[in-house]
Structure 1
Amino acid sequence: MPAANPVPRHRAYLILAGAAYRSQLQYRGNLLLTLAGGVAYQGVGLAFLWAVTSRFGELGGWSLAEIAFLYGMRVTAHGLLMVPTSQLHSLDLTIRTGEFDRYLVRPAGALTQLLCRQVHLPTLGDLATGLVVLTVAARQVGFEPTPTALLHLSLALVGGALVEGACQLALASFSFRMLSNLALRGLVDDIMNTFGGYPLKAFPDTARLALTYLVPVAFVAYLPAGVLLDRTEGLHVAPWLAYAAPLAGPVLYAAAYLLWRGQLRHYASSGT
């Protein structure tokens, strides 16, 4: 008999992710608590920004409403990434325990199976918080929801998620050689969380360059927010680069995926 056609990867992801979410939704009390935890975590960051701007009035020339808009974009992009890909942080564990061996002998892609192994529910709280903050801040700054502006905002959010995802996927791929580099990924994640919600104009030139070209924090939310708030003249990059910032996400993620595929060839089972 002819072999059955394999399930397309996007459909395999939807099937596995749907099963993972259905299993977690059986415990609704836990769902509410974890959502509250995600909201509280991101709320602390917003409260700190409010305290800073209340003390100094502005930060890098940005008002509280503008910073809240930037922060909302950053958290929304982070949520868009983490809801489907939070299990990437479990790669080191699956390698050490031998769980990753099973991914290589199944018809679904190894990365797809890794991302769907479980669901980390607090990431839904991140996404919800980001959307609420972004919506409220957009009204405060007078954001005009024209079709062009909404399209640019949507592309910027997806592009920002892909920029952060590219950094995490690229670093995770080296686990096939190093067995564990979770500390390095945690460092990059901390940099994104710590500086991603601030206008980079408030930092020294060296820091701005590092947060643009070394760790591309600026491309997640700062540069797109500058365009949407009509602040391109105050950015530290050429205006055309700020307008093209949403394109950085797909380009960087495609490069990170190629790196993942290349490093996967160096995987050696732990034997457990």
Structure 2
Amino acid sequence: MKLYFKYMVILFKSQMQYRASFWMLTVGQCLTPFMMFAGLYFLFERFGQLKGWTFFEVAMIFAVTHISFAISECFARGFDTFSSLVAGGDFDRLLVRPRSTVVQVMGSKFEFTRVGRLTQSLIVLIWAIASLPVDWTAWKIVTLILMIACGVLVFTGIFILAATLCFWTIQGLEVANIFTDGGREMAQYPLNIYEKWVSRFFTFVIPFACINYLPMLYILGKTEGSDLLYMISPLAGVVFIIPCLLVWHFGVKHYRSTGS
């Protein structure tokens, strides 16, 4: 971790060499989710509710999803741009260094401008919390923190899986964006509005439902049965990232260089 934080400091200093560019990109990252949230607002302004969900309930799901994505994109950006390391033969240099390839790839790229997206999402979260008639307890606060933390793990796991494909395809596949950007867009709404097969896939295969929809039912007092299962459902993010890391190590083991 000492090496990882050293990577972080170096890249932060390099990005701050062009401060005007940094702040412009940060503002742009703040405006992007704002336009998405504006679309959400006008949707509810027109129809009032979405399959029993109110505006502020969905706004809270929206905020949690975008906070998790922003943090993951900031600190796991190295996996999202991993194809450039493979195509240029730079990953070979990482292999001869006496440190974990996961740490080195994660430390190869940080997107600190994502603080703009994070800030906007935090504002939406605070607004939603202040507007919802929720009786906040210590357990509900812990559940909300788990939702965000484990959401970061799920998005990071998807980035790792997409990066692992580059060991065989060299270039990154656009189909991976279905589960990164597409997963973020889908997860910002309650999963019960989708078809059953979609809900099941994003519950038992890629556990988006476990990091926002199911625990949100507990926070809002809409659970059926034991509250404990809804409270601990975000931990599916921990379970999800473990096989992602195993697949990564399998790809590293069978990597045969680019030949360049």
Please classify the TM superposition score into its range, dividing by the shorter chain length: over 0.9
Equivalent position of 1:265 in the other structure: 253
- Work out the percentage of aligned pairs sharing the same amino acid: 25
Q: Does residue 179 in structure 1 map to residue 183 in structure 2? A: no
Compute the RMSD of aligned alpha carbons. 1.9
| 1:159 maps onto 2:150 in alignment | yes
Change (3 A) 1:242 1:145: closer
**1:61 CA displacement:** 0.8
The answer (yes or no) to whether the contact 1:163–1:219 under 8 Å persists in 2 is: no
Q: 1:241 to 1:166 in 2, by over 3 A?
A: farther
* AA partner of residue 194 (structure 1): E
Alignment of 1:205-224 (within 5 A): 205-224=196-215
For residue 232 of structure 2, what is the aligned residue in structure 1? 244
Conserved 8 A contact 1:75-1:129? no
Larger deviation, residues 45-54 vs 124-133:
124-133
> 2:127: which partner in 1?
136
* Match of residue 182, structure 2, among 191, 213, 219: 191
Give the aligned partner of residue 5 of structure 1. Answer: none
Deviation of 1:238 after TM superposition, in Å, equals 8.0
What is the one-letter code of the residue matched to 2:240? Answer: L
Task: Find the aligned partners of 1:226 and 1:125 in 2 and give their Cα distance.
Answer: 28
Q: For residues 19-168 of structure 1, what are the structure 2 equivalents within 5 Å?
A: 19-168=10-159
Structure 1 residues without counterparts, runs of 5 or longer: 1-9
Q: Which amino acid aligns with 2:90?
A: E
Name the CA distance, whole Å, in 2 between partners of 1:186 and 1:27.
Answer: 29
Q: Displacement, 1:114?
A: 1.7
Write out per-residue CA displacement over residues 161-198 of structure 1, whole angstroms, 9 at most, x where no aligned residue: 11122122123223212323431221211321221111
| Closer/same/farther in 2, CA of residues 205 and 74 from structure 1, 3 Å limit | same
Pair 1:85–1:61, CA change in 2 (3 A): same
Match of 2:242 among 213, 230, 254: 254
CA contact (8 A) 2:211 2:236 kept: no
Range 121-130 or range 36-45, more displaced: 121-130
Contact preservation (8 Å) 1:219, 1:245: yes
User: Unpaired runs of 5+ in structure 2?
Assistant: none
- Hey, what's the Cα distance between the residues in 2 that align with 1:271 and 1:46? 46
CA distance in 1, matches of 2:102, 2:256: 16
| 2:76 and 2:109 in contact (8 A); partners too | no
Q: Deviations over 1:112-171 (max 9, x none)?
A: 222222332332222212211111111111344433222221112101111122122123
**Which region of structure 1 is more displaced relative to structure 2, 17-26 or 106-115?**
106-115
Change (3 A) 1:37 1:261: same
Deviates more, 1:199-208 or 1:57-66: 199-208
Aligned residue pairs: how many? 260
Letter in 1 for 2:257: S
Q: TM-score, normalised by structure 2?
A: 0.92
Q: Are 1:67 and 1:198, in contact at CA under 8 Å, matched by a contact in 2?
A: yes
Distance 1:238 1:100, change over 3 A: farther
Q: CA deviation at 1:232?
A: 2.2
